[in-house]
Amino acid sequence: MNEVTLTPTSNDAATRRGCGECRTCCNGWLSAEIYGHKMGGGVPCKFLKPDGCGIYESRPELCRSFVCGWLKPGSPFPENWRPDKIGFIIREGLWEGKTCWLLQYAGKEDPSAEVMEAMRQHTIATGQPHIIKKRYSWLCYGKPEFQQAMLKLSQEIMGEMGLSKSLFFW
């Protein structure tokens, strides 16, 4: 297994990352409604064109405010984790006022053992919990309080037999 270490990128404007050829957030792996058109479950945004967003200048606030965790200044994720290359979308969230991470399946393979180990080590080193949404299941890693909060949330959203049947804890 290759070791992957997560270290923050520069906050310097000159070295900030760009989307490049990545269109993963628009390819239908996030659920949204854009000007009356639903995307999600692998159905891409109606306005996605081969060279990017066809309505970029007039895109809705939902799109304008989306922040890819890989693009975020200071992102701890390596270059080769760009969403279109690694197959999942990285999103930053908050749990109890602290950063937590969601790695969401985006149509390719489930995260490799190296990715899962890197995230586990990142959580141990930083205290930042994470959730990995795989194709058919979810993995949570963090303090027991985080895991219990995620289980409770899954039960509230999907009922006792919903997400909790596919939610696993490390």
Give the integer Cα–Cα distance in Å for 128 and 92.
10
Backbone φ and ψ of 152, nearest 5°: -60, -45
Give the integer Cα–Cα distance in Å for 167 and 153.
11
Q: Where are the alpha helices (DSSP H) in 9-112?
A: 61-65, 83-86
pTM of the model: 0.80
Spans of all domains in the chain: 22-66, 67-170
What digits encode the pLDDT tens for the residues 45-70?
999 999 899 999 999 999 999 999 99
What digits encode the pLDDT tens for the residues 4-57?
566 665 555 546 799 999 999 999 988 899 999 999 888 999 999 998 999 999
